[in-house]
Amino acid sequence: MFPPIVICETVSFSVESVPVAPAGRLAPREHSPDAENSFSPHLELMTKMLKEKPGIREWVRDRILFLALVIFLIGATIYILAGKIFAPESIWLHPLKEFSLLMSMIGIVSLGYELFLRELTFNEYKEALQELVNPDAVRLGVRGIYKNRSELGRAISFEGLFRDVKNEIFIGGSSLLSISTASRELLKDKVLHGANVRLLLMDPTSPVVEMISKQTGGKPTFVNEIRTSLLLLQKLQEEIEEGEGHPKKGKLTVHTYQIIPSHSFISIDADQSQGVIVADIGPYLGRSHARPSMVVVRKKGGLFEYWQEMNELMWESSKPIDLAPPQTMDSKAITQVFTSGKETEYFDTATRGWFPASICQMDGNWKGIKGSQWVWVREHLTLEESKTGSQHRFRHRLSLPFHFREEALIRGDLLVRAADVCHITVNDVGIKMEYGGAEYTDPFMVDIKKYLKGGENMIYFELISFAQPDAESAEDNRTGLIYRLHIEYRD
């Protein structure tokens, strides 16, 4: 059997492979403004307005609905009271009734338009505009092309994609660590409610994995990601099998492959008319440059069928993996994975209390760590903070069994990036090193194995953002923290 796994709260999906770098370097201070990729300036402007200020449309729509309802009620009230105000032979009775009836009809028509027709009209206008500014993209079913996974993540919510699934989720990639951590609960819920999930990842014993590891300096990070992902998927399978009260369960199927992957993908209901495929274009070979991503929908003669066929070819060249027998690690080992996100807390100096950290906006040049998200005290910083710099304290709590012994610990690897730098303290023991590397190809890896103990453990991050007095906007000097801790010990 697989070793038991302890699953800890994780957030979001990640973006890139995370091989290890030597400590002691500070992140470069160059800046490049974020750029949302789009088919044209017109579509970009329209998408940005709808995306950043959805409340304006809702605010206007709610008030128009209220006004239409008021007009209808006034007209109806006047119509009812007209006979009581004027005598039947009055010359004003019939004109007033006709006017009030007209007001009521205007209210009813306005209500119907706002409730049923406005959204339809807007969508038709949007599609027509897309065809005008980029007819080839519309014809081929291309919803968007993005420079890298970071831009894709800012434009599309994978949680939203998974929630809309009706029949099948089909995901292929290198390690799928971000899927097995951040999206495991969504996948579990979909399988328990009847959807089928197919997952395709690399075989950790494949020569291709060894080749990719050599390209990253011979470090074992990549193969460990695959092994960890398989362990977490084994635990997910156990939870699905133990789930009760779901008579129409779907099926979780995991395959591994030993070839160089042609692409990575997420396919949602590919056999349905509303199917969507998100594809990372090009093979993953552990290189530092990110791959562009494409979102396609089904259009006759479009690219959807091409990506669907490519996905199935990768599946056909793979082989199923039995999640029950031991596949990767010491069968007596327990693995825990902790990531920056919902479990990260920051210290508020005003109230002297700890509060949940926020997922912050990334700089366009920052790199990620699989399964983790960049965090800060708020989503945005102010212009003043950008000019003067800032210093904040973060922490992550984790618990190990009280009978835990140091000699039982196999690994305690902390991968970390920060903008600009951070100092790390584990259980009141300060590590005398500064860690930055937001833009580095490799994150820093800190071995904290000797600082861990049985019971509650506390990891503190002192995050420092350097001052930039000439900053013209808050985005000129963004700051944040991202990390992932992998603990493995023998039971």
Full domain range(s) for residue 271: 142-320
What distance, in Å, lies between the first and last C-alpha atoms of the chain? 14
Cis peptide before 420 (omega within 30 of 0): yes
Structure confidence at residue 281 as a pLDDT band (50, 70, 90):
confident
Alpha-carbon distance of 145 to 293, in angstroms, equals 6
Which of 80, 108, 133 terminates a domain? The answer is 133
266, 286, 320 — which closes off a domain?
A: 320
Domain membership flag for residue 171: yes
d(CA 101, CA 103): 5
CATH code at position 411: 2.60.120
Digit-coded pLDDT (tens) for 89-100: 888 888 888 888
3-state DSSP assignment of residue 150: helix
- Residues 128, 266 within the same domain: no
**How many residues would you count in the chain?**
491
Those residues whose C-beta lies under 8 Å from the C-beta of residue 147, and which sit 6 or more positions away, are 35, 37, 290, 292
Query: What is the total count of domains within the chain?
Result: 3
**327 in any annotated domain:** no
Alpha-carbon span 73 to 318, nearest angstrom: 66
Is the same domain home to 280 and 342? Answer: no
Q: Is residue 325 part of a domain?
A: no
Q: How confident is the model at residue 261 (pLDDT cuts 50, 70, 90)?
A: confident
pLDDT recorded at residue 62 = 67
By the 10 Å C-beta count (0-12 exposed, 13-18 middle, 19+ buried), 51 is classed as: exposed
167 and 225 inside one domain: yes
DSSP assignment of 112-130, as one string?
Answer: HIIIIIHHHHHHHHHHHHH
Contact 283, 264 (CB under 8 A): no
Q: 97 and 246 share a domain?
A: no
413 or 5: which carries more pLDDT confidence? 413
What is the bridge-based pairing of β-strands 168-172 and 196-202? parallel
Q: With a cut of 80, say whether residue 316 has pLDDT above it.
A: yes
Cβ burial 136-152 (10 Å sphere, 16+ → b, else e): ebbebbbbbbbebbbbb
pLDDT (0 to 100) of residue 291: 83
> Residue 243: which CATH number?
3.30.870.10
Please tell me the distance from the alpha carbon of residue 106 to that of residue 123, in angstroms, as a whole number. 24
Residue 197 lies in a domain: yes
Q: Which of 257, 288, 320 is the last residue of a domain?
A: 320
pLDDT value at residue 28: 38
Instruction: Give the model's pLDDT for residue 277.
Output: 95
Is the same domain home to 259 and 365?
no
Question: Could you read off the pLDDT of 317-349 as tens digits, one per residue?
Answer: 999 988 764 444 444 678 888 999 989 999 999
* Alpha-carbon gap, residue 209 to 227, rounded angstroms: 12
Question: What's the rounded Cα separation, in Å, for the pair 143 and 155?
Answer: 11
Ranked by mean pLDDT, which of 30-44, 104-118, 356-370 comes out on top?
A: 356-370
Q: Is residue 29 part of a domain?
A: yes
Percent helix, percent strand, percent coil in the chain, to nearest 5: 35, 25, 40
Do 246 and 163 have their domain in common? yes
The answer on 284 and 407 residing in a single domain is no
* Distance, CA of 368 to CA of 17 (rounded, Å): 8
For residues 341 and 429, membership in a common domain is answered with yes
Q: Are 115 and 68 in contact (CB under 8 A)?
A: no
Q: Tell me the C-alpha distance between 404 and 72, whole Å.
A: 71
Of 179, 152, 157, nearest to 291 by C-alpha is 152
What is the mean predicted confidence (pLDDT) over 245-251?
86
Res 397: pLDDT: 95
Is there a domain that residue 326 lies in? no
**Residue 295: strand pairing partners:** 144, 278
Which residues lie closer than 8 Å to 410 by C-beta, 6 or more apart?
Answer: 330, 333, 488, 489, 490
* DSSP SS3 for 9: coil
| CA distance linking residue 26 with residue 54, whole number of Å | 39
Across 133-138, average pLDDT: 72
* Segments in 86-220 forming alpha helices (H): 93-112, 118-133, 135-140, 149-155, 158-163, 177-182, 184-192, 207-215
Residue 410, in any domain of the structure:
yes
Q: Which two tokens stand for residue 449?
A: 């194995």
Q: Is residue 413 part of a domain?
A: yes
CA distances from 377 to 84, 170, 393, 417, 469 (A): 64, 35, 9, 16, 21
Do residues 308 and 420 share a domain? no
DSSP state of 200: E
Regarding whether 254 and 105 lie in a shared domain, the answer is no
pLDDT, average across residues 472-478: 89
> Higher-confidence residue: 107 or 167?
167
* Pair (172, 315) in one structural domain: yes
**pTM of this structure:** 0.58
> Nearest to residue 249, comparing CAs of 197, 317, 302?
197
| Residue 208 sits in the same domain as residue 80 | no
Which residues lie below 8 Å from residue 300, measured CB to CB, with a gap of 6+? none
Q: How far apart are CA 250 and CA 275, in angstroms?
A: 18
Burial zone of 262 (CB within 10 Å; 0-12 exposed, 13-18 middle, 19+ buried): middle
Confidence of residue 285 (pLDDT cuts 50, 70, 90): low
Indicate whether 128 pLDDT > 70: no
